[in-house]
Amino acid sequence: MAEMGRQSVVLKYNNEDVENETLRSQYCNDTAPSVPNSSTPDVRSVLVTSVLNLEKLDTDLYRGKHYWIPSTQRLFGGEIISQALGAASETVTGQLSVHSLHCYFVRPGDPSVPVLYQVERTRDGRSFSVRSVKAIQHDKPILMCQASFHAHQPSPLAHQYTMPTVPPPEDLLTMEELVQQYASDHNLAERDRRALNKVLDPEVPLEIKPVNMPAFSRRIAIEPRKLLWVRAKGHIGEGDMRQHCCVAAYVSDYSFLGTAVLPYADFKPQFSASLDHAMWFHNSFRTDEWMLYEIDSSWAGHSRGLVHGRLWRQDGVLAASSAQEGLLRMVPSESKL
């Protein structure tokens, strides 16, 4: 696997601005050529048909159902964020696009009942609209989310980091193939073989191709950094950018917080949960096409860890950024807990 170095800040000016603007307008006009999702070309993504298919119960009140439930038997944070953003988006009219969201997970989500999303229209201005969404179960909030929408405003400012140089997804194995390859080692300890079953649940509605070999056995401490190609399983289409932002919110919480524990081979999380999650959307993108998710962790301490993500389009345009703090209560790796 390729060794990835730290990337540097590259400011793009003049001609490259024009190039960025051309790319942006290509995607905003939905004219960019699309690469079909080869594994399931005709099947629509369940993220669209199920997770984001919210039921409208009343004015500004929506109900979401669940799809993939993690082994923790708590709702997946990404599902709740994506549905909350979906509910907020339903109440915003006109040409405004979501540019950021900020969420707190205040209670664990219960998979046995649906989630209600109550939207408050916090403000509608000339160029920004802000929505506050309360996700509710058993009459209590489980997530508080604020999302802000912005009308497109051209600007001479345009810079971004450079996308890390990594092998293209076509040259990499899927997570399933990597697991199979690893499991074919006859010397693999039974404990490690059992742990493999938890690595990738086939119900997860995402396709993943890790750039660096995942630390399946967790005996080796590595730097808190991950690079993975990711896309929604199934077809979504060029259509609605708001839908792609909701799917990106789902994607952004997957495999995120675990990055903070990579340097600690002697400890494992006894209890972990996302505490908050923020996202910023920069440029148009398609979540049914491969995107590079670059994750690192800048800090851990006091039973918490901080992770940062950048979601890149395959053509090197920075699509979105994310950040999350999570609770990480660790115990020694050998502990039975």
Ligand X SMILES: CCC(=O)SCCNC(=O)CCNC(=O)[C@H](O)C(C)(C)COP(=O)(O)OP(=O)(O)OC[C@H]1O[C@@H](n2cnc3c(N)ncnc32)[C@H](O)[C@@H]1OP(=O)(O)O
Q: Which residues are at the interface with ligand X (CB under 6 A)?
A: 74, 76-77, 105-109, 253, 257, 271, 273-275, 327, 329
We find the least distance from the C-beta atom of residue 130 to ligand X, in angstroms, to be 23
Which of 129, 148, 272, 324 is the catalytic position? 324
We find the least distance from the C-beta atom of residue 167 to ligand X, in angstroms, to be 26
Quickly count helices (H) and strands (E) in the chain: 6, 12
Residue showing tokens 């209560």: 329
Which of 253, 288, 314, 321 is the catalytic position? 253
CB-based closest residue to ligand X: 77
Residue showing tokens 């932002």: 245
**Of 215 and 273, which has the nearer Cβ to ligand X?**
273
Beta sheet of 291-301, edge-to-edge order? 55-58, 61-64, 115-124, 128-137, 140-150, 97-105, 267-281, 318-332, 304-313, 291-301, 225-232, 206-210
Rounded CA-CA distance 249/245 in Å is 6
Inter-residue contact 243 to 285 (CB < 8 Å)? no
Active site residue 253: yes
Which of 252, 255, 272, 274 is the catalytic position? 274
Q: Which residues contact 249 (CB under 8 A, 6 or more apart)?
A: 78, 81, 82, 85, 101, 279
**Of 227 and 260, which has the nearer Cβ to ligand X?**
260
**Of 143 and 241, which has the nearer Cβ to ligand X?**
143
We find the least distance from the C-beta atom of residue 208 to ligand X, in angstroms, to be 14
Residue showing tokens 């999303």: 117
**Of 283 and 287, which has the nearer Cβ to ligand X?**
287
Rounded CA-CA distance 163/313 in Å is 9
SS3 state at 23 = helix
We find the least distance from the C-beta atom of residue 80 to ligand X, in angstroms, to be 7
Active site residue 324: yes
**Of 75 and 96, which has the nearer Cβ to ligand X?**
75
We find the least distance from the C-beta atom of residue 314 to ligand X, in angstroms, to be 25
Rounded CA-CA distance 164/126 in Å is 37
Rounded CA-CA distance 256/238 in Å is 26
Give the residue numbers annotated as catalytic, written as ranges: 253, 274, 324
